[in-house]
Structure 1
Amino acid sequence: MRKKTSPAEGPEGFVYQCRLSLSSATVNMVADLIRGHLRKIGSRWRKLTPGKIAVIVLAILRHDQRLCDMAGGNDVSASTVRRWLLEVVGLLAARAPRLDRALRKITRKGGVVVLLDGTLVRTRRRTGDENRPNYSGKHKVHGLLFLALTDEKGNLVWISAAKPGRSSEITAARHNKICAKLREAGLGALADLGFVGLDDDPDDPVIVTGRRASRGHPLTKAQKEANRLVSRERAANEHGFADLKNWRILTKVRMNTRHATTLLRALLVLTNAEVSR
C-alpha cells in the first residue's frame, strides 16, 4: 500500500489511513510464508505481491478491518481478500507448536515450571440450538473456551483446541492430558482454583493450585499466604492472554470450533513473533 503524504482532495479522493502497529520482522515473516506457499503450489502470479498481501491480512487480523474496505483500497474483490486471509491463517496455524514439543522446548531451555490458565473468547450470539453449548454460565456470555500455557515470563507457548463455552477448564485439561504431558517433560505447572483436583497424584503433584475455603473450614493464615504467592507467580499468565487479545479480530468471532482453533493458533504464532520477554 502506497503511503499518502498529502491530504486527499475532491469527493472521490478521500483516503482512510491506519497505522499497522506491527514490526517489519512480523510482516516479512508472513510474506516469506506466502512466497514459499506460492512456490510449493506452482502459482505463477497474484494480483498483488506477497508483501502487500501480508500487510492486508495483518491489518484485518490486527485492526479488524472490513474485507470490502481492504479490497476496494487495493483494486481487488472481497472474495479475493477472504481467500488470502484463509490461506495465510492456515499457513500460520500449521507452525503452531504441539503440546509435547512446546514442553520439551521449555525443558531444553532450563525451565522448570509453566503457567496454566483458561480464557473465554466471546462469540457473537446466534439463534438456534447449535449455539446453546457456547453459553458460559460462569461469564454469562456466549464464547469458546481455550486453555493456554505460558512460560515464567508470560510468553505463550501453547494453546488448546476450542471447546464450547459451557465446558469447564478442568475437563478441557483432562481431555488434553496435560498432567501426563507435564510428567513426561519433567515440568510443573501453576494454576488457579479452577484446576483444583486436576492432578490425580497428590503424593507427587505436577500442578500446584491455591487452597479453596469450604463452608465451616476457612483458610488459615498460612494457606492465604500460599494463595497470594501462587497468584503473584501466575500474574505473568495474564500478560500472555492480553497480548493474544490485542488482535482485534477476536472481538467478533462468529465461527465453529474448528475454524476458531485455526485462527487462535495462527494468532499464537504472530504473537510469539511480535512479543518476546
Structure 2
Amino acid sequence: MGGVLRAEPLWVEAFTGLRMDRFAELVRVVREREGNGPGGGRPWCLPLPDRVLLVAVHYRTNLTMRQFAPLFGISCATVCRIIQRLRPLLALEPAPRPVADIDRLWIVDGTLIPVRDRSLAASSRNYRFSANVQIIIDADSRLVIASARPAPGNKADAHVWRESDLPAASAGTTVIADGAYLGTGLIVPHRKRAGRPLLRGQEEDNAEHRRVRARAEHTFARMKNWKILRDCRQKGNGLHHAVQAVATMHNLAQTG
C-alpha cells in the first residue's frame, strides 16, 4: 500500500511548521550525521527526506506509530525503527556564540512536560506526572542555546540547574532567570521582604527583568506547537531527544 505523505513542499510546510528550504537544511544535518547509516545493510524502504519528515511530523502531531504506518505506507515496526534511528541525529547544535561579547544576554527557564515514563516523571504542581525541562535561549535572537536533561517535575528549578550541564555551557556569559533560581549566581529579580518594600529603582529593574525574561516563556510556547512536548509517551531518552529535536526545528524556523 502506498503512503500519503512525502517530502514535498505541501506536506512539509503543513505538517512540520518549516519552510521547504529549512526542512532541506534539517535533512542535510541528518545526512551529515550518517542518517543513512553504514553501507552494506538492508536498505530503508523510504528515502532519507521522507524518514526525516516522518520524525518531524511525529514530534509535531504526536500521532501514534499505528496512525503513522498508513500515512507513509509502511509497517508499525518500520515506523518505530525509523524514529529510534533518527531521533538522536536531530539533536540541538549550539547556536553560534560570539567571542568576548560582554553585552550578550542569555535567559534560562524551565517548564513542566507531562510524560508517561514514571521513572522519569513525578507528580508535579500541574497535577500531572511531569518532567522539569530547562533551556537557555539567546535574548536577542530567541534561539535555543542548550537544553538540560529532563529531571523529575517535583525538583526545584535551582536544584535542576545545579545538577545539569547548563552552568558549564553558560560560563562567562550573563544569564538571567526568575526568582526560582535564587542562590545560583544568576541574575534574578529583587526580592520583596516583609516590612521592607522595594525601592522605586528596584521595581523598575524588576519590570525590565520580567520584560526580557518573557522571551524564554514565549520560546517555550512556540516549542510546544510540537505536541510531543504536551504529552510525551516515549520512554528513557525519548523526551530528551524530543526536546533537542524540537529545539533544532525551532531554531531553523526562527532563522528562516
TM-score range, shorter chain: 0.7 to 0.9
**CA-CA distance at 1:106 after TM superposition:** 2.2
CA distance in 2, matches of 1:182, 1:3: 40
Match of 2:18 among 19, 22, 26: 22
Q: Counterpart of 2:9?
A: none
**CA-CA distance at 1:172 after TM superposition:** 1.3
Where do 1:234-249 residues align within 5 Å? 234-249=213-228
Contact preservation (8 Å) 1:31, 1:53: no
Query: Where does structure 2 lack aligned partners over 5 or more consecutive residues?
Result: 7-12
**CA-CA distance at 1:188 after TM superposition:** 0.8
Contact preservation (8 Å) 1:96, 1:266: no
Aligned residues between the structures: 243
Q: Counterpart of 1:7?
A: none
Contact preservation (8 Å) 1:107, 1:187: no
Q: Counterpart of 1:85?
A: 83
State yes or no: 1:192 paired with 2:187.
no
Q: Counterpart of 1:162?
A: 150
Contact preservation (8 Å) 2:59, 2:242: no
Match of 2:27 among 31, 39, 42: 31
Distance 1:255 1:64, change over 3 A: closer
State yes or no: 1:113 paired with 2:105.
yes
Contact preservation (8 Å) 2:114, 2:130: yes
Q: Counterpart of 2:252?
A: 273
- Deviations 1:81-117 (CA, angstroms, capped at 9, x unpaired): 1111121111112x544xxxx6xx4233845221111
CA distance in 2, matches of 1:78, 1:26: 28
- Deviations 1:223-260 (CA, angstroms, capped at 9, x unpaired): 22211111111121122212221111222213445332
**CA-CA distance at 1:181 after TM superposition:** 5.0
Name the amino acid aligned to 2:225.
Answer: N
State yes or no: 1:232 paired with 2:224.
no
Question: Greater CA radius of gyration, 1 or 2?
Answer: 1
CA distance in 2, matches of 1:51, 1:182: 34
Contact preservation (8 Å) 1:89, 1:266: yes
State yes or no: 1:264 paired with 2:243.
yes
Structure 1 runs (4+) greater than 4 angstroms displaced: 1-4, 177-181
- Deviations 1:43-98 (CA, angstroms, capped at 9, x unpaired): 452212222222222221112233222212333111111111121111112x544x
Distance 1:39 1:88, change over 3 A: closer
Where do 1:50-129 residues align within 5 Å? 50-93=48-91, 95-97=92-94, 105-108=96-99, 110=101, 112-124=104-116
Query: Where does structure 1 lack aligned partners over 5 or more consecutive residues?
Result: 5-17, 200-206
CA distance in 2, matches of 1:263, 1:3: 21
**CA-CA distance at 1:161 after TM superposition:** 0.6
**CA-CA distance at 1:166 after TM superposition:** 0.8
Distance 1:255 1:215, change over 3 A: farther
RMSD: 2.8
Q: Counterpart of 2:10?
A: none
